[in-house]
């Protein structure tokens, strides 16, 4: 906004200029925070799915350890322990599948790893 200096608005113009700069800097910082939040959200989607898959694989290893220990030692394994591990495997893999579907619906750029 241009105000001729001969009208005596020099101080008003300087004050307006300072206020405008401060407002612009605050708006820029706000936009940068939202851009960072968006980047983090994209990563968190991937991390969440990877965590669910990791938990499923951890329970698979647990189940396999129980079954392998039975073959090595000859002692019968607990059906309850195996059933619980199978239930946990199913739970975590379904969570990963649900997360994939939800994230793909929300974010068209989402790719599973």
More confident: 9 or 34: 34
Residues 6+ apart with CB under 8 A from 111: none
**22-74 confidence digits (pLDDT tens):** 888 899 999 999 999 988 998 899 999 999 999 999 999 999 988 888 776 77
Residue 113: per-residue pLDDT: 63
Instruction: Return the pLDDT at 1.
Output: 47
> With bands split at pLDDT 50, 70 and 90, how would you rate the model's confidence at 18?
confident
Q: Which two tokens stand for residue 87?
A: 């239930």
Give whole-number Cα distances, 23 to 3, 9, 74, 113, in Å. 20, 21, 75, 41
Distance of alpha carbon 57 from alpha carbon 76, whole angstroms: 23
Per-residue pLDDT for 3 more than 60?
Answer: no
């Amino acid at each position: 906004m241009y105000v001729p200096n001969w009208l005596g608005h020099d101080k008003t113009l300087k004050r307006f200029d300072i206020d405008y700069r401060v407002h612009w800097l605050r708006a820029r910082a706000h936009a940068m925070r939202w851009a960072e939040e968006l980047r983090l959200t994209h990563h968190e989607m991937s991390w969440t799915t990877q965590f669910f898959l990791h938990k499923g694989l951890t329970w698979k290893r647990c189940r396999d350890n129980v079954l392998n220990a039975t073959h090595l030692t000859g002692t019968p394994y607990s059906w309850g322990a195996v059933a619980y591990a199978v239930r946990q495997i199913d739970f975590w893999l379904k969570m990963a599948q649900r997360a994939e579907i939800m994230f793909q619906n929300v974010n068209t750029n989402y790719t599973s790893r």
